[in-house]
Amino acid sequence: MSKVQEAKEKLKGSIAPVITPFKQDESLDLDTFKSLINWQIESGSHGISVTGTSGEPSSLTVEERELVMETAIKTIDGRVPFAPGTGSVNFNEALRLTKAAQEMGADAAMVIVPYYNKPSQHALYNHYKTIADAVDIPIVVYNIPGRTGVNLEVKTLARLVEDCPNIIGAKESNKDFEHVNRVLLNCGRDFKLFSGIELLCYPMLTIGGAGSISATANVAPAQVAEMHNAWMEGNTERALELHYELMPLNDVLFKDTNPAPVKAALGMMGKIEPVLRKPMALPTQELQDEIREVLKSYNILPEGVSTN
């Protein structure tokens, strides 16, 4: 079986986009990082991604991103698929990181639409085509227009899929549900479509999506994985029930820029030191209090942790 076919078979369900934990001095906390990955796998997550939006990649050096990826793949040890984020606003960095993911043995590389520069559709095609041609690793395009400033249009994506056999899927953090429907119509029903919008994780499954890469899985991995398990088992009623059960948690985790609320929540859960690198910062105390109340309602605060 080819790498592309193997990735299409393996990549599905809840791919957890694990955060990058830091110590109080803002250095990498790799021991905690390993613990988070093990917890994700034990909780039922179907795959692991790192250095995507939740992993604060723009606050990491290229060398740190490579170290995070290497630590992740060694910790995963083949238990679940691994699809790290390797994109960058800098083309050469994106190419270097994608090649590094291939050399490490990652199952796929998630490559974000370059941010800030706002390239044209023609430029985006050239960017992805050049990277895809330079590697053998399967590629999942990451389209998040709210943070990149530009939307990868369906016709551009369809052209890339036609011209690049190793572009196998997309993480669509796009609130335009008409857009994501047209992705599958134009790229093929076997195209691996993952939701990056929490409230669209269930709806995207219903139109033929493969799963989600959802920041909420950092905080409630078992529940997010269970929603996908229920769907795959044909228990649509249970999947829909979990969709609505997760909604208050999804909402509060996006009242500030991701991953600030997620890191605050994981700190309250005793999983990490809640530290972000500047210019990011923890949410206001008012929002942290709201997050704590929501976590309390889900019974995911550990015993002995104050809920006041």
Mind telling me the catalytic residues? 142, 171
Hey, what amino acid is at 37? I
Backbone angles phi, psi at 243, to 5 degrees: -55, -45
Largest Cα separation within the chain, whole Å, is: 56
Give me the phi and psi of 220, to 5 degrees please: -130, 65
* Phi, psi of 54, deg, nearest 5: -65, -20
- Residue 273: burial class (beta carbons within 10 Å; 0-12, 13-18, 19+): middle
Residue 291 annotated as binding site: no
Counting beta carbons within 10 angstroms of the beta carbon of residue 31, is it exposed (0 to 12), middle (13 to 18) or buried (19 or more)? exposed
Q: Is 54 marked as binding a ligand? A: yes
- How far out from the chain centre does Cα 86 lie? 12
CA 155 – CA 53 distance, rounded (Å): 25
Question: From the annotation, which residues make up the binding site?
Answer: 54, 213
Annotated binding residues for pyruvate, as ranges? 54, 213
